[in-house]
Copies of this chain bind each other. A is one copy, B any other.
Amino acid sequence: MLIVQKYGGSSVATPERMANVARRVVSARLLGYKVVVVVSARGDTTDELIELAKTTNPNHSKRELDALLATGEQQSCALLAMAIQALGHHAVSLDAWLAGISTTSTHSNARIKSINAERIKLELDNNNIVVVAGFQGFNRRGDFTTLGRGASDLTAVALAAVLHADTCEIYTDVEGVYSADPRIVKNAVKLPEISYLEMLELASLGANVLAKRSVGLAKKYGIKLVVKSSMKDSQGTIVKEETKVEGIYISGVAVDKNIVRVNISSIKDEPGVWFKVFSIMDKGNISIDFIQQAKQDDGTKDISFTVAKDEVDGVMEAFNGSTHRLGFESISYHGGIAKLSVVSTGMATNPAVPSMMFEALFDAGINIDSISTSEIRASVLIDIDEADGAANLVHEKFRSGKYIKE
């Protein structure tokens, strides 16, 4: 029996919390599991190192930033190994190189290529609890790379896949995956389980519990994920392959206020315009939603779409650099909007879910700006000031109707 556990930076921020994590790790060991633990850098270490790098040289090479950031996880790893040793158990820390986590060469956003887990297996066989540095890997030259923000989850899932772990537990500062953000929706319910697909949608919609790439990887290798609190003892949420259930359940109501609408006026109405627009977005790896277009009498059209707030500078820059190629008149953006979504795998075969959402909004007199749907998600664009209230209303509609599995 082998278990992979992952603890985020806030869970190991102080020696006291580190000791608490060590106790949890040892509990799993005492249950008879071989244990591999993945940790992030302590507290704000990563942000502080980034700040220091900027002060030293705003145009530092990404390679050096990765070399610098890798130390954050190496430190928390070594300290956790010591904390486990303090409880009388054997433990070793392994950085990405020793853990055999080989990646592509793209610094600051590398992809895991393969994992040679010989050393990890050896240490497990030697009765050690193995503590692995999350977020980092090494490229073909042996240089440290990093996997992008929040990627310690990814390290944990990848190790679980390679080691054929029974479970991959993601410990975090919340108690699991909720049917809505508990800070916004007062009756939000902790879900006992959720499917990979639904979790992927929720992650895209801004639920920060699990990084999207990690869920994708877990889905690919069928790794059972458990998301739970590193502070409290509670069940947590199991993320796994969809199970056939009677009835329709929704897995979440999500509000994303971090979006703006981009309007482009008088763009040439000719074949290939949308292709050009999408290729600009693709280059910047920018997702767009709520696409609309309106033809004008002069043979041009106005188009609009939403993007994440922190992408908008990139969008404006890209379009302003393509004025000639696209031949539009002006581009502008405005905020004041929010995206309210309901996620449910049942939706694909049953239209009840979106219509219940629309009903709740209609009853409350909330105006819907536009609608966007996918196989397992229905989203509406509404006024940002009405977003929290709307989320509560919609959530309550489903909860009281027993459409949320508690």
**CB of A36 within 8 Å of the partner chain:** no
User: Can you name the residue of chain B whose Cβ is closest to the Cβ of A73?
Assistant: B71
Closest residue of B by beta carbon distance from A133: B67
Q: How far is the CA of A67 from the CA of B18 in the complex (A)?
A: 17
Interface contact A78-B93, CB-CB below 8 Å? no
Q: Are B56 and A67 closer than 8 Å at their CB atoms?
A: no
Q: Does A59 sit at the interface, judged by CB under 8 A? A: yes
Q: Which residues of B contact A92 (CB under 8 A)?
A: 63-64
A97 interfacial contact with B, CB 8 Å: yes
Q: How many chain A residues have a CB neighbour from B under 8 Å?
A: 39
Number of copies: 2
Residues of chain B with a CB closer than 8 A to A18's CB: 56
A residues 302-321 in Cβ contact with B at 8 Å: none
Beyond A142-B97, A142-B98, whether A83 also contacts B67 by CB under 8 A is: no
Q: Are A78 and B67 in contact (CB under 8 A)?
A: yes
Task: Evaluate contact between A82 and B53: CB separation under 8 angstroms.
Answer: yes
Q: Is the Cβ of A67 less than 8 Å from the Cβ of B61?
A: no
Q: Which residues of B contact A71 (CB under 8 A)?
A: 71, 74-75, 78
* CB interface residues, A 68-85, toward B, < 8 Å: 68, 70-71, 74-75, 77-79, 81-83, 85
- A119 and B85 CA atoms in complex are apart in Å by 36
**Smallest Cβ-Cβ distance to A14: which chain B residue:** B55
A70 to chain B, nearest CB (A): 7
> In the assembly, what is the distance between CA of A26 and CA of B56, in Å?
16
Other CB < 8 Å A-B pairs besides A52-B79, A68-B74, A71-B74, 18 of them? A53-B82, A56-B79, A56-B82, A56-B83, A59-B86, A60-B82, A60-B85, A61-B81, A64-B85, A64-B92, A65-B82, A67-B78, A67-B95, A68-B75, A68-B78, A98-B142, A119-B141, A119-B142
